[in-house]
Chains A and B, each alone.
Chain A
């Protein structure tokens, strides 16, 4: 089993739609969780950290379920500019593991 697993997609959604991504991780001791966004041929950029209580930043909501070992990202009212690859990141101490990413394409 991979340490961090994501559905690679692509997810093709119309503008204005709501889309959700899930990510599962194998190490129950993992401490910190993040969602990064990566545009084509660019470096990843932090989108948001994920907390046990769940957190929201504008149109983006992240949730963590430690019991089931998954994190999720919900994007509401999708914009064309949201088209990118979304990377799930899990860390334990110094060790940081990236998922393979989920590609989102928002269609006009």
Chain B
């Protein structure tokens, strides 16, 4: 099946620093990637939809200047959490949709961010 990787899998950073998370589709091209956040015992919340070559579409309540998304190629999207605070600590998961048109999403393994 299709594979999506995320890096890093875990990161601990100090408050005020920025953290970049990479999401790669390994064996397919993805014009669209999605970024989700999941707090403990809650469901995934869509943060933004990342489209290759254009600006990301952010969900209501998600600050685009705080969560910078870049989808520079058909296989890579990055999420940068700028000036991280402890309340940004969460599980961040990306997913990618195969460009060939299936609605199925393939999820990365997730990145656990802890801001101290």
Interface residues of A (CB under 8 A from B): 31-32, 34, 41-46, 49, 87, 91, 94-101
Contacts and interface: CB of A to CB of B under 8 A. Distances in A.
Contacts of A100: 42-43
Contacts of A98: 36, 43-46
B45 to A, nearest CB: 8
Contact of A45 (B42, B44, B107): B107
Nearest to A33: B103
13 contacts: A31-B103, A32-B103, A41-B91, A42-B109, A43-B108, A46-B104, A49-B104, A94-B32, A97-B46, A98-B45, A98-B46, A100-B42, A101-B43
Interface in B25-40: 32, 34, 36
Nearest to B51: A94
Contacts of B104: 34, 46, 49
Given A87-B44, A94-B49, A96-B34, A43 B103 contact: no
Interface of A, helix, strand, loop or mixed by DSSP: strand
Interface of B: 32, 34, 36, 42-46, 49, 57, 91, 93, 103-105, 107-110
B103 A42 contact: no
Given A96-B46, A101-B43, A43 B110 contact: yes
A26 to B, nearest CB: 15
Nearest to A38: B44
Given A34-B104, A87-B43, A99-B43, 8 more contacts: A32-B103, A42-B109, A42-B110, A43-B107, A44-B93, A49-B103, A96-B46, A98-B45
A94 to B, nearest CB: 5
B59 to A, nearest CB: 9
Contacts of A94: 32, 49, 57
